[in-house]
Amino acid sequence: MICFGGSTCQTLAREVARRAGLVEGSMEVKDFPDGEMYVRVDTGVEGEDCVVIQSTSRPQGRNLFELLAVLETLKDLGAGKVSAVVPYYGYGRQDRRFMEGECITSKVIAEHVQLHCDEFYTVNVHKEAVMDFFRIPAHNLDAAAILGTYFKEMDLEDPIVVGPDMGAEEMAEKVGAILDCDWDCLEKKRLGPGQVEMKPKGVETAGKDIVIVDDIIDSGGTMLTALKTLKAKHASSVSIACIHPVLTGNIITRLYAAGARTVAATDTIPSQISEISVAPLIADALK
Ligand code: R5P
């Protein structure tokens, strides 16, 4: 199998190829001065199975088009089975019509990608329902264990894993199982008009090394509130990790300023905190 890394996933694709024993494909992707894209596949692909690894992260439209252009080129050049790996599925949060007339943008991506490939992989898509838009084999890989292993290697005295909301419950449970410790989620309690309290559902967090895990840090509002809540409840330390570092604004600085011990993420999107690699997960899936 020949592995091509799109412009969002160069390092990740190289590591996936190394781990899975794939041939590294070579291609040129550049933007013309007018903004249009040029794609040229340099490696011979006729009759060869190929995989393209490319996230549809910011700038989403450009990165999606690059993915489609490379997939289509491989098919056009006579490649065998073509797989797409989209480690971060941009638009994954719009999985249905929340208001009448809205575009289900995650469906638009699914419809277009599956026209140009035979199998699809992503990592912790925000809404599992998105996978139902695919009529080709489609896999949602789970990187929770990778986050767990990352924290296991840290020197945490008495850890507890916390999800910042109920949506992160399953992830908190999985990471807790790897760390062999308690886990919990924060829940919002309405105290009165305009007054909301956030607190762990059950476990005592005072004096503990807290690990907060979530799928996405975007504006970081969710993480910041969770961090401040747990600090106010006298956590000994608070370490933070997410799968997808979307990172809008200067949220990393703000999290450290609010007392985070560490803030880490995987490399589904390259960023200054993408120190945990999902390469083993993707490589295993492709083997
Ligand atoms: C929510 O359902 C997600 O799991 C994340 O908690 C959310 O997308 C994070 O967004 P933000 O960083 O903007 O609070």
At position 81, the amino acid (one-letter code) is K
- pLDDT category at 194 given cuts 50, 70, 90 is low
Indicate if the pLDDT at residue 112 is higher than 80: yes
H-helix or E-strand spanning residue 50: strand 50-53
Give the Å distance between the CA of 68 and the centre of ligand 1.
Answer: 27
Give the Å distance between the CA of 223 and the centre of ligand 1.
Answer: 8
CB under 6 Å to ligand 1: residues? 164-165, 167-168, 214-223
d(CA 143, CA 282): 10
Q: Could you give the domains of the chain?
A: 2-142+279-286 (3.40.50.2020), 144-267 (3.40.50.2020)
Q: Which of 135, 160, 176 is nearest to 239 (CA)?
A: 160
- pLDDT category at 31 given cuts 50, 70, 90 is very high
Chain-wide mean pLDDT for the chain?
95
Atom of ligand 1 at shortest range from CA of 164: 6
- Arithmetic mean of pLDDT, 26-46: 98
The pLDDT value given to residue 207: 94
d(CA 223, CA 164): 7
Indicate if the pLDDT at residue 190 is higher than 70: no
- pLDDT category at 191 given cuts 50, 70, 90 is confident
The pLDDT value given to residue 163: 96
pLDDT per residue as tens digits for the range 221-268: 999 999 999 999 999 999 999 999 999 999 999 999 999 999 999 999
* Active-site residue, selected from the candidate residues 152, 188, 189, 287: 188
Q: Record the pTM.
A: 0.95
Q: Which tokens go with 64?
A: 């999606």
d(CA 94, CA 134): 15
Indicate if the pLDDT at residue 195 is higher than 70: no
Kindly state the percentage of the chain with pLDDT values over 70.
Answer: 98
Active site residue 188: yes
Structural contact between residues 269 and 246, judged by C-beta atoms closer than 8 angstroms: yes
Atom of ligand 1 at shortest range from CA of 215: 4
Structural contact between residues 50 and 74, judged by C-beta atoms closer than 8 angstroms: yes
List of residues 6+ apart from 118 with CB closer than 8 A: 81, 82, 83, 136, 137
d(CA 278, CA 223): 22
Nearest protein CA to atom 8 of ligand 1, as residue: 216
The pLDDT value given to residue 131: 98
Indicate if the pLDDT at residue 202 is higher than 90: no
List of residues 6+ apart from 45 with CB closer than 8 A: 2, 25, 74, 77, 78, 79
